[in-house]
Protein backbone atom coordinates (compact mmCIF):
# COMPACT_ATOMS: atom_id res chain seq x y z
CA UNK A 1 0.00 0.00 0.00
CA UNK A 2 2.77 2.42 0.94
CA UNK A 3 4.63 1.53 -2.26
CA UNK A 4 1.53 2.24 -4.40
CA UNK A 5 1.06 5.59 -2.65
CA UNK A 6 4.71 6.50 -3.33
CA UNK A 7 4.31 5.67 -7.02
CA UNK A 8 1.18 7.82 -7.30
CA UNK A 9 2.65 10.80 -5.48
CA UNK A 10 6.13 10.49 -6.98
CA UNK A 11 5.79 8.74 -10.39
CA UNK A 12 9.43 9.50 -11.25
CA UNK A 13 10.75 8.40 -7.88
CA UNK A 14 11.13 10.38 -4.66
CA UNK A 15 14.66 11.59 -5.42
CA UNK A 16 13.87 12.82 -8.95
CA UNK A 17 10.53 14.35 -7.93
CA UNK A 18 12.13 16.10 -4.94
CA UNK A 19 14.87 17.49 -7.20
CA UNK A 20 12.27 18.72 -9.72
CA UNK A 21 10.23 20.62 -7.12
CA UNK A 22 13.34 22.00 -5.40
CA UNK A 23 14.55 23.39 -8.71
CA UNK A 24 11.16 24.81 -9.59
CA UNK A 25 10.76 26.57 -6.25
CA UNK A 26 14.29 27.62 -5.29
CA UNK A 27 16.60 27.29 -8.32
CA UNK A 28 14.78 29.22 -11.01
CA UNK A 29 16.91 30.37 -13.94
CA UNK A 30 15.74 33.27 -16.10
CA UNK A 31 16.94 34.02 -19.65
CA UNK A 32 18.68 37.11 -18.28
CA UNK A 33 20.56 34.98 -15.76
CA UNK A 34 21.73 32.61 -18.49
CA UNK A 35 23.00 35.44 -20.66
CA UNK A 36 24.80 37.11 -17.76
CA UNK A 37 26.48 33.84 -16.71
CA UNK A 38 27.62 32.99 -20.25
CA UNK A 39 29.13 36.45 -20.73
CA UNK A 40 30.94 36.14 -17.38
CA UNK A 41 32.31 32.79 -18.56
CA UNK A 42 33.88 34.50 -21.58
CA UNK A 43 31.47 34.01 -24.47
CA UNK A 44 31.52 37.05 -26.79
CA UNK A 45 30.03 38.31 -30.03
CA UNK A 46 31.34 36.55 -33.12
CA UNK A 47 32.47 33.42 -31.25
CA UNK A 48 32.49 30.00 -32.87
CA UNK A 49 31.32 27.67 -30.11
CA UNK A 50 30.61 23.94 -29.85
CA UNK A 51 28.16 23.17 -27.04
CA UNK A 52 28.00 20.03 -24.87
CA UNK A 53 25.36 19.95 -22.17
CA UNK A 54 23.61 18.14 -19.35
CA UNK A 55 20.59 20.16 -18.31
CA UNK A 56 19.59 18.33 -15.14
CA UNK A 57 21.75 20.37 -12.75
CA UNK A 58 21.36 23.82 -14.31
CA UNK A 59 18.20 24.55 -12.32
CA UNK A 60 14.63 25.20 -13.45
CA UNK A 61 14.82 27.01 -16.80
CA UNK A 62 11.84 29.37 -16.72
CA UNK A 63 11.53 29.53 -20.50
CA UNK A 64 12.54 25.91 -21.07
CA UNK A 65 15.63 24.36 -22.62
CA UNK A 66 15.38 26.53 -25.72
CA UNK A 67 16.29 29.55 -23.58
CA UNK A 68 19.90 28.31 -23.47
CA UNK A 69 20.07 28.39 -27.27
CA UNK A 70 18.44 31.83 -27.29
CA UNK A 71 20.98 33.18 -24.79
CA UNK A 72 23.95 31.85 -26.78
CA UNK A 73 22.54 33.25 -30.04
CA UNK A 74 21.97 36.61 -28.39
CA UNK A 75 25.60 36.79 -27.27
CA UNK A 76 27.45 35.51 -30.36
CA UNK A 77 25.10 37.42 -32.68
CA UNK A 78 24.79 37.04 -36.44
CA UNK A 79 28.57 36.83 -37.01
CA UNK A 80 28.84 33.93 -34.56
CA UNK A 81 28.59 30.19 -35.17
CA UNK A 82 27.00 27.62 -32.87
CA UNK A 83 27.73 23.91 -33.26
CA UNK A 84 26.29 20.94 -31.40
CA UNK A 85 26.94 17.20 -31.72
CA UNK A 86 23.91 15.31 -33.02
CA UNK A 87 25.32 11.80 -32.82
CA UNK A 88 23.23 8.77 -33.71
CA UNK A 89 22.85 5.39 -32.07
CA UNK A 90 23.30 6.07 -28.38
CA UNK A 91 26.11 4.59 -26.29
CA UNK A 92 27.65 2.04 -28.67
CA UNK A 93 28.35 3.04 -32.25
CA UNK A 94 29.35 -0.55 -33.02
CA UNK A 95 26.00 -1.87 -31.79
CA UNK A 96 24.21 0.77 -33.85
CA UNK A 97 25.96 0.22 -37.18
CA UNK A 98 25.64 -3.57 -36.91
CA UNK A 99 21.92 -3.43 -36.04
CA UNK A 100 20.79 -2.69 -39.62
CA UNK A 101 19.49 0.85 -38.94
CA UNK A 102 17.23 2.78 -41.30
CA UNK A 103 19.09 5.18 -43.64
CA UNK A 104 20.31 8.28 -41.82
CA UNK A 105 18.23 11.36 -42.70
CA UNK A 106 19.49 14.72 -41.55
CA UNK A 107 15.98 16.13 -41.00
CA UNK A 108 14.39 13.07 -39.41
CA UNK A 109 16.96 10.92 -37.60
CA UNK A 110 16.91 11.87 -33.93
CA UNK A 111 20.02 12.93 -32.06
CA UNK A 112 21.04 10.81 -29.08
CA UNK A 113 23.28 13.44 -27.48
CA UNK A 114 20.70 15.03 -25.21
CA UNK A 115 17.62 17.20 -25.26
CA UNK A 116 19.36 20.47 -26.08
CA UNK A 117 21.03 19.04 -29.20
CA UNK A 118 17.73 17.51 -30.35
CA UNK A 119 15.96 20.86 -29.97
CA UNK A 120 18.80 22.69 -31.71
CA UNK A 121 18.92 20.45 -34.80
CA UNK A 122 15.22 21.14 -35.46
CA UNK A 123 15.62 24.93 -35.72
CA UNK A 124 14.85 25.81 -39.37
CA UNK A 125 18.07 27.80 -39.98
CA UNK A 126 20.32 25.04 -38.62
CA UNK A 127 22.32 22.90 -41.05
CA UNK A 128 23.16 19.30 -40.12
CA UNK A 129 25.97 17.24 -41.58
CA UNK A 130 25.28 13.91 -43.27
CA UNK A 131 27.70 11.78 -41.31
CA UNK A 132 25.66 8.70 -40.31
CA UNK A 133 27.05 8.22 -36.78
CA UNK A 134 28.68 11.51 -35.67
CA UNK A 135 26.80 14.30 -37.39
CA UNK A 136 26.88 17.88 -36.16
CA UNK A 137 24.32 20.67 -36.36
CA UNK A 138 25.59 24.16 -37.15
CA UNK A 139 23.99 27.60 -37.06
CA UNK A 140 25.88 30.53 -38.50
CA UNK A 141 26.80 32.51 -41.62
CA UNK A 142 28.98 29.69 -43.04
CA UNK A 143 27.04 26.72 -41.69
CA UNK A 144 26.84 24.92 -45.05
CA UNK A 145 30.61 25.16 -45.49
CA UNK A 146 31.15 23.70 -42.01
CA UNK A 147 29.16 20.54 -42.73
CA UNK A 148 30.08 20.05 -46.39
CA UNK A 149 31.36 16.55 -47.18
CA UNK A 150 31.40 15.29 -43.58
CA UNK A 151 29.83 12.01 -44.74
CA UNK A 152 32.82 11.38 -47.04
CA UNK A 153 35.34 11.34 -44.20
CA UNK A 154 36.41 7.77 -43.45
CA UNK A 155 36.72 8.71 -39.77
CA UNK A 156 34.09 10.97 -38.17
CA UNK A 157 36.74 13.26 -36.64
CA UNK A 158 39.20 13.33 -39.55
CA UNK A 159 40.87 16.15 -41.47
CA UNK A 160 38.48 18.78 -42.87
CA UNK A 161 35.61 17.65 -40.66
CA UNK A 162 33.75 20.18 -38.49
CA UNK A 163 35.87 19.10 -35.49
CA UNK A 164 39.08 19.80 -37.37
CA UNK A 165 37.72 23.15 -38.45
CA UNK A 166 36.78 24.04 -34.86
CA UNK A 167 40.48 23.86 -33.95
CA UNK A 168 41.76 25.63 -37.07
CA UNK A 169 39.34 28.54 -36.83
CA UNK A 170 39.94 29.42 -33.17
CA UNK A 171 36.66 27.97 -31.97
CA UNK A 172 35.59 27.40 -28.39
CA UNK A 173 33.96 24.50 -26.56
CA UNK A 174 31.23 25.23 -24.01
CA UNK A 175 30.68 22.50 -21.42
CA UNK A 176 27.47 22.88 -19.42
CA UNK A 177 27.67 20.58 -16.40
CA UNK A 178 29.58 17.91 -18.36
CA UNK A 179 33.20 17.21 -19.17
CA UNK A 180 32.37 14.98 -22.15
CA UNK A 181 34.04 16.71 -25.07
CA UNK A 182 33.96 15.44 -28.66
CA UNK A 183 37.07 17.51 -29.40
CA UNK A 184 39.03 14.77 -27.62
CA UNK A 185 38.24 12.35 -30.44
CA UNK A 186 39.87 14.77 -32.88
CA UNK A 187 42.95 14.93 -30.65
CA UNK A 188 43.06 11.11 -30.59
CA UNK A 189 43.14 11.14 -34.39
CA UNK A 190 45.90 13.73 -34.53
CA UNK A 191 48.20 11.60 -32.36
CA UNK A 192 47.03 8.25 -33.80
CA UNK A 193 45.86 6.98 -30.40
CA UNK A 194 46.31 3.18 -30.20
CA UNK A 195 43.20 1.09 -30.92
CA UNK A 196 41.11 4.22 -31.42
CA UNK A 197 39.07 2.55 -34.15
CA UNK A 198 38.25 -1.01 -35.08
CA UNK A 199 40.33 -2.26 -38.00
CA UNK A 200 37.44 -2.70 -40.45
CA UNK A 201 35.22 -0.07 -42.05
CA UNK A 202 31.46 -0.40 -41.75
CA UNK A 203 28.95 0.34 -44.53
CA UNK A 204 25.92 2.38 -43.52
CA UNK A 205 23.14 4.00 -45.53
CA UNK A 206 22.31 7.69 -45.70
CA UNK A 207 19.55 9.61 -47.45
CA UNK A 208 21.12 12.27 -49.67
CA UNK A 209 18.69 14.46 -51.64
CA UNK A 210 16.03 11.74 -51.74
CA UNK A 211 18.55 9.15 -52.85
CA UNK A 212 19.78 6.36 -50.61
CA UNK A 213 23.50 5.73 -50.83
CA UNK A 214 26.01 3.77 -48.81
CA UNK A 215 29.07 5.29 -47.18
CA UNK A 216 31.78 3.62 -45.13
CA UNK A 217 32.88 4.80 -41.73
CA UNK A 218 35.36 3.82 -39.05
CA UNK A 219 33.86 2.85 -35.70
CA UNK A 220 35.36 3.49 -32.27
CA UNK A 221 36.68 0.43 -30.47
CA UNK A 222 34.32 -0.59 -27.66
CA UNK A 223 35.85 -1.33 -24.26
CA UNK A 224 38.88 0.21 -22.53
CA UNK A 225 40.37 1.79 -25.66
CA UNK A 226 38.97 5.27 -25.05
CA UNK A 227 40.82 5.47 -21.73
CA UNK A 228 44.22 6.57 -20.49
CA UNK A 229 45.92 4.09 -18.18
CA UNK A 230 47.33 5.75 -15.05
CA UNK A 231 49.04 4.32 -11.95
CA UNK A 232 46.74 3.83 -8.98
CA UNK A 233 47.41 4.64 -5.36
CA UNK A 234 48.20 1.09 -4.27
CA UNK A 235 51.16 -1.00 -5.42
CA UNK A 236 50.77 -2.44 -8.93
CA UNK A 237 47.30 -0.90 -9.23
CA UNK A 238 46.22 0.73 -12.48
CA UNK A 239 43.30 3.01 -13.19
CA UNK A 240 41.44 3.42 -16.47
CA UNK A 241 40.49 7.07 -16.91
CA UNK A 242 38.10 8.17 -19.64
CA UNK A 243 40.01 10.52 -21.93
CA UNK A 244 37.82 13.64 -21.28
CA UNK A 245 38.49 13.17 -17.55
CA UNK A 246 42.23 12.91 -18.22
CA UNK A 247 41.98 16.20 -20.10
CA UNK A 248 39.91 18.00 -17.43
CA UNK A 249 40.55 15.88 -14.36
CA UNK A 250 37.34 16.05 -12.41
CA UNK A 251 33.65 15.48 -13.04
CA UNK A 252 31.19 18.35 -12.76
CA UNK A 253 29.32 17.94 -9.49
CA UNK A 254 32.05 15.75 -8.02
CA UNK A 255 34.60 17.01 -5.53
CA UNK A 256 38.12 17.14 -6.94
CA UNK A 257 39.47 14.99 -4.13
CA UNK A 258 37.03 12.20 -4.99
CA UNK A 259 38.71 11.99 -8.37
CA UNK A 260 42.33 12.62 -7.37
CA UNK A 261 42.48 10.29 -4.37
CA UNK A 262 42.62 7.18 -6.57
CA UNK A 263 46.04 8.06 -8.11
CA UNK A 264 49.69 8.00 -7.14
CA UNK A 265 51.02 11.26 -5.72
CA UNK A 266 53.14 12.22 -8.75
CA UNK A 267 50.15 11.58 -11.06
CA UNK A 268 47.92 13.82 -8.96
CA UNK A 269 50.57 16.55 -9.04
CA UNK A 270 50.78 16.38 -12.83
CA UNK A 271 47.01 16.50 -13.38
CA UNK A 272 46.47 19.35 -10.90
CA UNK A 273 49.40 21.32 -12.28
CA UNK A 274 48.13 21.04 -15.83
CA UNK A 275 44.59 22.05 -14.89
CA UNK A 276 45.91 25.09 -13.05
CA UNK A 277 48.07 25.96 -16.07
CA UNK A 278 44.99 25.80 -18.32
CA UNK A 279 43.23 28.23 -15.98
CA UNK A 280 46.22 30.57 -15.56
CA UNK A 281 46.80 30.76 -19.32
CA UNK A 282 43.13 31.48 -20.02
CA UNK A 283 42.75 28.31 -22.09
CA UNK A 284 39.99 27.08 -19.77
CA UNK A 285 37.52 29.38 -18.02
CA UNK A 286 35.49 27.96 -15.13
CA UNK A 287 32.24 29.32 -13.80
CA UNK A 288 28.55 28.63 -13.42
CA UNK A 289 25.62 28.78 -15.78
CA UNK A 290 22.44 28.78 -13.79
CA UNK A 291 23.16 26.44 -10.88
CA UNK A 292 25.43 24.09 -12.83
CA UNK A 293 29.16 24.07 -13.39
CA UNK A 294 30.39 25.32 -16.74
CA UNK A 295 33.65 25.57 -18.63
CA UNK A 296 34.65 27.40 -21.79
CA UNK A 297 37.71 26.07 -23.64
CA UNK A 298 39.90 27.62 -26.32
CA UNK A 299 39.74 24.68 -28.77
CA UNK A 300 43.02 25.31 -30.59
CA UNK A 301 45.24 25.94 -27.56
CA UNK A 302 43.53 23.21 -25.56
CA UNK A 303 44.12 20.69 -28.37
CA UNK A 304 47.75 21.79 -28.76
CA UNK A 305 48.57 21.13 -25.09
CA UNK A 306 46.63 17.85 -24.85
CA UNK A 307 48.27 16.60 -28.04
CA UNK A 308 51.67 17.28 -26.50
CA UNK A 309 50.79 15.58 -23.19
CA UNK A 310 49.21 12.50 -24.72
CA UNK A 311 52.08 12.00 -27.18
CA UNK A 312 54.53 12.20 -24.30
CA UNK A 313 52.49 9.65 -22.36
CA UNK A 314 52.60 7.24 -25.32
CA UNK A 315 56.34 7.81 -25.83
CA UNK A 316 57.00 6.96 -22.16
CA UNK A 317 54.75 3.89 -22.30
CA UNK A 318 55.35 2.39 -25.76
CA UNK A 319 54.12 -1.11 -24.88
CA UNK A 320 51.29 -0.21 -22.54
CA UNK A 321 48.50 0.04 -25.10
CA UNK A 322 48.86 -3.24 -26.97
CA UNK A 323 45.29 -4.47 -27.43
CA UNK A 324 45.78 -7.88 -25.76
CA UNK A 325 47.59 -6.41 -22.75
CA UNK A 326 45.03 -3.64 -22.35
CA UNK A 327 42.18 -6.15 -22.20
CA UNK A 328 44.08 -8.26 -19.68
CA UNK A 329 44.77 -5.23 -17.49
CA UNK A 330 41.11 -4.27 -17.59
CA UNK A 331 40.07 -7.77 -16.53
CA UNK A 332 42.68 -8.14 -13.78
CA UNK A 333 42.73 -4.58 -12.49
CA UNK A 334 46.50 -4.86 -12.02
CA UNK A 335 49.51 -4.10 -14.17
CA UNK A 336 52.01 -6.81 -15.13
CA UNK A 337 55.33 -5.12 -15.66
CA UNK A 338 56.33 -1.47 -15.60
CA UNK A 339 53.71 0.91 -14.20
CA UNK A 340 52.53 3.60 -16.61
CA UNK A 341 54.24 6.98 -16.49
CA UNK A 342 52.22 10.19 -16.78
At residue 186, the pLDDT reads 96
Residue 193 burial (10 A CB sphere; 0-12, 13-18, 19+):
buried
In contact, 179 and 251? CB cutoff 8 Å: yes
Q: Does some domain include residue 59? A: yes
Q: Is beta strand 81-85 parallel, antiparallel or unpaired with respect to 28-29?
A: unpaired
Residue 332 burial (10 A CB sphere; 0-12, 13-18, 19+):
exposed
Q: How far apart are CA 246 and CA 291, in angstroms?
A: 25
Q: How far apart are CA 156 and CA 202, in angstroms?
A: 12
Q: Does some domain include residue 8? A: no
Q: Does some domain include residue 342? A: no
At residue 129, the pLDDT reads 97
At residue 222, the pLDDT reads 83
Torsion region of 337: left, alpha or beta (phi above 0 gives left; psi -120 to 50 gives alpha): left
At residue 325, the pLDDT reads 85
Regions of the chain short of the pLDDT cut 70:
1-26, 251-254
Q: Does some domain include residue 5? A: no
At residue 210, the pLDDT reads 86
Q: How far apart are CA 248 and CA 142, in angstroms?
A: 30
Terminal-residue alpha carbon distance, the chain: 56
Q: Does some domain include residue 127? A: yes
Residue 330 burial (10 A CB sphere; 0-12, 13-18, 19+):
middle
Q: Does some domain include residue 12? A: no
Q: Which helix (H) or strand (E) holds 181?
A: none
Q: Does some domain include residue 206? A: yes
Q: Does some domain include residue 1? A: no
Rounded to two decimals, the pTM is 0.90
Domain span holding position 316: 19-332
In contact, 150 and 104? CB cutoff 8 Å: no
Q: What angle do CA 206, 207, 213 make, to 5 degrees?
A: 60
The tally of domains found in the chain comes to 1
Length of the chain measured in residues: 342
Amino acid sequence: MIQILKQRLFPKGIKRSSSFYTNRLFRRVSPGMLEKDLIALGLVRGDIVCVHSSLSSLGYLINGSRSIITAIRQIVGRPGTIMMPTFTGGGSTYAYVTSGPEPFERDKTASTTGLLCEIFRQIPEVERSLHPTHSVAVLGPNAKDWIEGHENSITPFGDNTPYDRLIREDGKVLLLNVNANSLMHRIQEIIDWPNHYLDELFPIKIMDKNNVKTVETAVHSPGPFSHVVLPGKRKNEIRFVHIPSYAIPFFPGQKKNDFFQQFRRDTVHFLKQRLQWFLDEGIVHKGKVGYGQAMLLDAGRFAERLTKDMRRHLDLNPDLYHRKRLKQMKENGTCNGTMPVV
